[in-house]
Amino acid sequence: MKRTIKLSLISVALISQLHAEQSIKLEPISITSTAIATDELKSTDAVEVYTQEDIEKAHVQNVYEFLNQQTSITTMPAFGNPFTQKLDMHGYGIGDGYQNIAVTINGRKMNNIDMVAPLLSGISPSSISRIEIIKSSGVVTGGDGASAGTINITTKQNNDKEVSFYGGTYGVADGSFYFGHSDEKLSLSASGETQKSDGIRTTDTDGNKDKDKLSTGTFNLAYTPTQELELRFGAGFARADVIYGGSMSKEQYDSNPTALAGYASHQLYDTNTLNGGMSYFINNTLSLHVDANHEMKKSDYIPSYSGPSHYEYNSAKIHFDYVTEQLALSVGYDGFYGDRKQSGNTFKKKNNAGFIMSEFYLDNSTFKLGYRFERVDYSFADQGLKSSKDLHGAELGYNYTFDKTHSVFANYAHSYQAPDIDRFFGFDSGTWATYYSGSVNPMEANSYTAGYNNIQNDNKFKLSFYYIDLKDEIYFYADYSGPRTSYNANIDKSHKYGLDLYDKYLISDMWNIAMNYNYVQAIMDNENDYSGNKLPGVSNHNIKATLSYLPSQYSTIALTQTYRSEAYAADDFANNFSQKQNAYMSTDISASYAKEKWEVFAKINNLFNQKNGLWTQDDAIYPVNFTTTAIAGLKLKF
């Protein structure tokens, strides 16, 4: 049975990649991770799409580095941990912004049920086909926590076969591989990576360093026994062993950020995933898609004061898609069941949702309409407590495409963030333990976005403006002056607004430049003594710019500048700390020489040795990207 391209998201992705390889001109890129496939020119949302080629050219050591250097996303190691970094987009703050971004890999949601950031370091950059960022939208399919937007990562399913090695300063070493096979019936891929670092910061009086090592592996299979049916299976693992330093005072930071300060943490983090699914194309317009995922995780700190945390996540998504030239419709169910066991206690969070997403096409106009109902259930067995939350999400959007090069769009989204299981507890500094502190309300947000796209052969320009009105934004009131003085709470009312600007200009065959600029203001309107204050951890200005020079068809030299303006420290809701989050600056340069079967590359990060850090309070600074580092490597293709 013959099927249209719209019915197969995989086909859209493969075709767009072929176009990218055959032409150096800029053109609209397909968006394949949303409920309904489209391209960035016709999208009703503000989107960023980064292809396999973009990721390969960046020569990054992990996904966080790519996001921080190339996209509108801000990343910072979580209290020094480089493997589980914090994320921020659209002014939700570097403290808790990661809980307002729904992150998926091949459709599987990576967000945790507690206050642990998603483990993006477990995804090898060499295995990624594309990264799609949907800003201030995506709640209908992304659900709980998609208020700032979504980051959707898709891994490769092609015939690439390659191995890559690099080494660098401070004992950095890495090896990765990807082997793929794809034909009309069968698609197979396997990828893996192992890396280690001898560390930079001193963590104890014996001179030990904050060393780390990480190993990852994935296997994916897709089989098409008939033209109407596709069967999918996948498995993956990640093993992390990381030692990272604690905070230091400003005097220590200014003097020597590599020196011993405070304490060090040693974490072992293991995760194993299994996934399976099928797609059945009933006819030319109607198809059924079913996917299920199972994940087991273990996090253990050495020495362990409360024992390891064991996680078990099970999720499933089922949806019918109906696609014609005038209408695209997706209707489905989305379920997630997660629990964490620690010290004999079990904490559960369950999400069950139904959704409908539609797009209507009328001449040059595209209309989007979607709705999601989600019930969130909590269970704290040791406390004998249970609670439920009913939540509603909605999206409205419009795009008018003037011609093949430029368009305008506007959209509205009502999104929400249900509290994670840790939000019901406070910190008892008298006993260094947590206590049940009562209910925290879900956050609700109304987001309004308007934008313009202009995609020429030599210039891709995107501009969008947004305003977000929030109720019950969730935050942690940090006060360690006495017992039971720290707790989780809601900001009654708050708002955010800003603009996003992206431009990539092919100056000539030898020169091109790409720039991402983001401006944001985040204000607390009504919250006791904080009314009128700025949300801490939000930089008003965020700039990433890359200038590329191609002296020949084989070689590329790229210079990247990253800058974020200063902000209030992450815990400074009163806006009265004596120390602010310093401005972040890093200049990076990379060079590569690539032919058909091999490539050599080198990269220097933080070329001018800028000091950077994460401020949480006065004299509580976690050094980040504070010294010059370098790598050099080789990639072989078969």
Give tens-digit pLDDT for 14-52.
333 333 333 457 777 777 767 677 788 999 999 999 999
Q: How large is the average pLDDT for residues 69-94?
A: 94
pLDDT tens digits, 462-521: 999 999 999 999 998 887 777 788 889 999 999 999 999 999 999 999 999 999 999 999
pLDDT of residue 178: 96
Closest by Cα among 275, 276, 357, 502 to 37: 357
Greater confidence, 635 or 2? 635
The pLDDT value given to residue 526: 94
Whether residue 357 contacts residue 413, with contact meaning beta carbons closer than 8 Å, is answered with no
501 contacts 517 by C-beta, under 8 angstroms: yes
Q: Any idea which of 64-68, 389-393, 484-488, 544-548 has the lowest mean pLDDT?
A: 484-488
Confidence at residue 432, expressed as pLDDT on a 0 to 100 scale: 59
In whole angstroms, give the CA distance from residue 197 to residue 519: 35
| Residues comprising the chain, all counted | 638
CA-nearest of 121, 194, 114, 185 to 153 is: 121
Q: Please give the average per-residue pLDDT across 554-563, as a whole number.
A: 97
The residue-averaged pLDDT of 427-451 equals 85
H helices present in 216-362, as ranges: 250-255
**What SS3 state is found at 380?**
strand
Respond yes or no on whether the N-terminal peptide bond of residue 308 is cis (omega within 30° of 0).
no
pLDDT tens digit string along 239-292?
999 999 999 999 999 999 998 777 889 999 999 999 999 999 999 999 999 999
- Report, in angstroms and rounded to the nearest whole number, the Rg of the chain calculated over CA atoms: 24
* Average pLDDT of the residues in 210-225: 96
The answer, yes or no, to whether residue 7 has pLDDT greater than 50, is no
pLDDT in the model for residue 11 = 33
Structure tokens at 603: 């990269």
Within 8 A by CB and 6+ apart from 45, the residues are 134, 135, 136, 137, 138, 397, 409, 411, 449
Contacts of 310 (CB under 8 A, 6+ apart): 296, 297, 298, 340, 341, 342
Burial (0-12, 13-18, 19+ Cβ within 10 Å), 337: middle
Any residues with CB less than 8 A from the CB of 610 and at least 6 apart, and which? 585, 586, 587, 625, 626
CA distance linking residue 623 with residue 626, whole number of Å = 6
CA distance 63 to 86: 12
Residue 226 has pLDDT above 70, yes or no: yes
192 conformational bin, left if phi > 0, alpha if psi -120 to 50, beta if neither: beta
CB atoms within 10 A of CB 516: 22
- Whether 426 has a pLDDT exceeding 70, the answer reads yes
User: Does 384 score more than 80 pLDDT?
Assistant: no
Please report the beta strands in 246-382, taking only residues with DSSP state E, as ranges in sequence order: 264-281, 286-301, 309-323, 327-342, 345-362, 365-380
pLDDT per residue over 510-556, tens digit each? 999 999 999 999 999 999 889 999 999 999 999 999 999 999 999 99
Q: Distance (Å, rounded) from C-alpha 349 to C-alpha 377?
A: 6
pLDDT digits (tens, 9 = 90+) for 400-423: 999 999 999 999 999 999 999 999
pLDDT (0 to 100) of residue 13: 33
Binning pLDDT at 50, 70 and 90, where does residue 336 land? Answer: very high
Q: What integer pLDDT is reported at residue 10 of this predicted model?
A: 31
Q: Which residues pair with 534 in a beta bridge?
A: 523
* Residue 87: Cβ within 10 Å count: 25
Q: What is the pLDDT of residue 194?
A: 97
Task: Assess contact for 120 and 91: CB atoms under 8 A.
Answer: no
Q: Domains, the chain, ranges and CATH?
A: 5-169+248-257+324-637 (2.40.170.20)
pLDDT tens by residue, 564-621: 999 999 999 999 999 999 999 999 999 999 998 999 999 999 999 999 999 999 999 9
pLDDT on residue 438: 78
Average pLDDT over residues 182-202: 94
